[in-house]
């Protein structure tokens, strides 16, 4: 039996970040309900491959120079909240 105060969980259900297309070849689009301020592409070794400073809720990025493989797209919104999505480059 639990005795004590109920506390709401801190979650990001109200934040939404969509990455498409995925898999991708030349370009990706990030769409968020909160304006993004930065986006980085991270390779499997943890190295930052590309970085952009942005100021919008929808951002298209050129990824044509990336070799085929799995990457992580790390973004941050205006509230400082980070998000990470997996990206497959063909």
Q: Give the residue among 43, 45, 51, 44 at the shortest CA–CA distance from 75.
A: 51
Q: Which helix (H) or strand (E) holds 79?
A: none
Specify if 52 maps to a domain: yes
Domain interval for residue 44: 17-89
12-71 confidence digits (pLDDT tens): 445 689 999 999 999 999 999 999 999 999 999 999 999 999 999 999 999 999 999 999
CA 41 – CA 72 distance, rounded (Å): 6
Is the model's pTM score more than 0.85? no
Q: Domain containing 48 — which CATH number?
A: 2.60.40.1930
Specify if 12 maps to a domain: no
Residue 43: per-residue pLDDT: 97
């Amino acid at each position: 039996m639990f005795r004590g105060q109920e506390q709401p969980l801190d979650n990001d259900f109200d934040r939404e970040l969509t990455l498409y297309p995925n898999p991708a070849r030349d370009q990706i689009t990030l769409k968020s309900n909160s304006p993004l301020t930065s986006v980085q592409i991270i390779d499997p070794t943890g190295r930052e491959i590309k970085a952009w400073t942005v100021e919008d809720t929808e951002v298209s990025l050129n990824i044509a120079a990336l070799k085929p493989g799995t990457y992580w797209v790390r973004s941050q919104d205006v509230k400082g909240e980070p998000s990470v999505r997996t990206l497959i480059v063909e």
